[in-house]
Structure 1
Amino acid sequence: MDIKQNICPKCGGPSEGGLCSSCRAAELEWITCDDRVLCTHCPTCGSLKQQNTWTDCKLEKDKLIDEVALSAVHIHEDVRSLSVSLETRDISPNRTSVNVGVKAKLYGVPVEHKCRVLIVWSKEQCDRCSRLSGGYYEGTIQLRADGRKPDDYEKDRANAIAHSAEDGLQETGERLSFITETRETKDGLDIIISSHNIGDIISRNIVKELGGKVTRHPKLVGEKKGIPVYRITYLVRLPKYQKGDVFEENGSYYEIRGTDSGGVKYFDLQDSSTKTTRNEPCGRLIGNVKDSEFAFVNYTEGNTAGILDPKTFENKECLTYPWLEIKEGSTIRFLRDYDNERIIFVG
């Protein structure tokens, strides 16, 4: 041994100064394990409760056991090359025993440790499921239409928009923003919602896609910790005409291409021009392009086309429009103007 070499004061072995690596590793409590861990979960949705806060859990039971067991193991920051093995055993419906084996290196010295963690499973209904089961709500979105009733398509789209908004909020962690109930009424559709935020988002998205406008009608229902509590009715009133409607005005036919706060955009089926007006059209409604029929084109000649009526199987000659590219042997969509006994091509 070099006389200048440092000596470990505990074991007498070589040292770089002070205790050697083996003695430092032997004296340091490099690992501790909690004997018992309480895991509170919601039996309905599987959410976990941590320090009075609920969070969604997407882990399978085996993965969750591993996560909970590992949370009970506390490792010193100087530990390196960590390797952990877990052996689990369910000893009762609400008890899981986990044998934990740990191998690592501490100051370059191999170390290992074994311990047992008991996971106690506790069931408790989470904040979201508690509100859902109790029918909690903070507002109602009423889907209505101006001078008519929303049709099935509009109600289905509004419902889909609402659930898409709900999914998005749940993904971002807004657990208490959800749809409590959806019900059809004689005038349209009511969507019962649990928070003002989801009500704002859903109503705004419905108008963005289907047109119309939203008015908010708050009602004071009490106080919570000195703060006023309001329930809000979001009246979503769809326009008289909806996207795809075809109307007749002064002998000409037009298709609604969009409705928003800026006005109504419509397409001239004769000359293919697009116009926008702030006032709703006053024409006669013919139908909607989503309900159009399909006809086989027998022949074309100039500005006329002969089609096979799919109802009567008769050949009918109809006026065509310059913007339409109609070819013999193809099919074309059309609506019937029963009042004028005309076939209106819509593309």
Structure 2
Amino acid sequence: MSETRDTREFCPRCGDSVPEREEPLPGEPRERDRVLCDACYFEDFELVDAPERVEVTVCSHCGAVHHGNRWVDVGARDYTDVAVDEVSEALAVHLKADQIQWGVEPEQVDQNTIRMHCTFAGVVRDTHVEETVVVPVKISRGTCDRCGRISGGSYAAEVQIRGRDRVPEQAEQERAVEIAESLVAEREADGDRESFVTEVTDQPEGKTVKLSTNKLGKAVATQITEELGGSHSEAPTLVTEDGDGNEVYRVTFAVRLPKFRPGDVIDPDDDEGPVLVRSVRGNLKGVRLATGEPYEAGFEEGETPDAETVGHVDDAVETTVVTVEDDNAVQVLDPETYEAVTVARPSGVADDAATVDAVKTDAGLFVIPPTEDADGADRADRADGADVADVADDEVADGGDDA
């Protein structure tokens, strides 16, 4: 007589039978709780492992969030999204759960506390399970490394905005600072938290910009001279040694803006009359007021030829045209004596012009050539990278790119 052996397994906790389960594959660990029935298994089952509290440290100066071992710029007006991310990373879902779904509902308790209501659902042992946890998020304030360095006055480079034989115009100084701030903003947008402006100071001879790194200082000095003309030099100073014994230098970048500016009327020492300066990038370029012919300083002279400033377009005044004599001459009223005088007629003065702008120098009275149309030669020069100045009063005063 044959006997049938009972192969059923029974729960060691309650004694109920346990459904037959698939055996683990060779090499896989055998689950300790597989011997429990579903009722006993779910008595101790936790779908979500959540911390009692999450703390988020925020820089009180710039709003960066301390994440792991570094500070991260988040650009948030409030920190609800940050709290959601931090809680999401802190939560752990049971490995045996499938088809996980979850949601979170933040509750702003006060300015520094957000209570996160997290709901999770999944399938475990072919059973739908749900669990809700509440995790308080505490927002604490601190100071990030970057802001600490700024407030402590830390800097590695300084860019001195100076002029050659003159004090830079206020518009030039402000534009130089804008260039520095723009370059810093570009690096910040790329995630570089090591680039910043520590301080901008006013000196009688011009502004000084203190920057976080020597590399940034060089980039700023180079950009300023490329846009505003002139040149720069650098002077390193040994300040300390780092922990590895490497020498640490602080570099001073001395930017020297050109002696002459676009819009200046200068008198070169060549007996050919005054020149209206159009560009000081590279070699000085301009136009002869007496003939209308183009002028360019020699290579060895660069942007500072042997000349003296005798006026500026800001000094020009509107005067009446008496008559246009021919292609090369026009008769106007002297703005001081009101006598009719014949002066050179620059290109652009219309045959029916009623008034022109003129500037009076020790060399005589000269008509200022009308500003080139934006679709004319000036645009072509810009396309070639030249620094052509629009000598209209408003643009010179604004200190734009052409200044």
TM range (shorter): 0.7 to 0.9
Name the counterpart of 1:273.
294
Give 1:298 shift: 5.0
Q: Secondary structure at the match of 2:280?
A: strand
CA deviation profile, 1:106-136 (whole Å, cap 9, x unmatched): 8998654311112122221111211121111
Task: Answer yes or no: is 1:48 the counterpart of 2:69.
Answer: no
CA deviation profile, 1:91-116 (whole Å, cap 9, x unmatched): x5543321112346789986543111
The verdict on how the C-alpha distance between 1:298 and 1:287 changes in structure 2, with shifts beyond 3 A counting, is closer
CA–CA distance in structure 1, aligned partners of residues 366 and 47 of structure 2: 86
Question: Partner letter of residue 151 of structure 1?
Answer: E
Contact 1:265 1:277 in 2 (8 A): no
Name the counterpart of 1:246.
265
Question: Partner letter of residue 149 of structure 2?
Answer: R
Greater fraction of residues in strand: 1
CA–CA distance in structure 1, aligned partners of residues 283 and 116 of structure 2: 66
Q: How many residues align?
A: 328
Contact 1:85 1:100 in 2 (8 A): yes
Name the counterpart of 1:222.
240
The verdict on how the C-alpha distance between 1:320 and 1:105 changes in structure 2, with shifts beyond 3 A counting, is farther
Report the TM-score when normalising by structure 2.
0.69
CA deviation profile, 1:45-78 (whole Å, cap 9, x unmatched): 1111112211212113233333333333345798
Contact 2:106 2:114 in 1 (8 A): no
Which one of the candidate residues 278, 282, 285 is aligned to 2:309?
Answer: 285
CA deviation profile, 1:193-223 (whole Å, cap 9, x unmatched): 2211221111111110111111111111111
Q: Secondary structure at the match of 1:166?
A: helix
Name the counterpart of 2:203.
185
CA deviation profile, 1:222-267 (whole Å, cap 9, x unmatched): 112122111111111122222332212324232333334x433333
Contact 1:248 1:284 in 2 (8 A): yes
Sequence identity percentage: 25
Name the counterpart of 1:237.
256
The verdict on how the C-alpha distance between 1:322 and 1:344 changes in structure 2, with shifts beyond 3 A counting, is closer
CA–CA distance in structure 2, aligned partners of residues 57 and 161 of structure 1: 24
Q: Secondary structure at the match of 2:201?
A: strand
Q: Secondary structure at the match of 1:242?
A: coil
Segment drifting more, 212-221 vs 102-111: 102-111
Name the counterpart of 2:131.
113
Name the counterpart of 2:284.
264
The verdict on how the C-alpha distance between 1:273 and 1:110 changes in structure 2, with shifts beyond 3 A counting, is farther
Alignment RMSD: 3.7
The verdict on how the C-alpha distance between 1:102 and 1:248 changes in structure 2, with shifts beyond 3 A counting, is same
Question: Partner letter of residue 298 of structure 2?
Answer: T
The verdict on how the C-alpha distance between 1:296 and 1:11 changes in structure 2, with shifts beyond 3 A counting, is farther
Name the counterpart of 2:381.
none
* Structure 1 residue runs without a partner (length 5+): 1-8
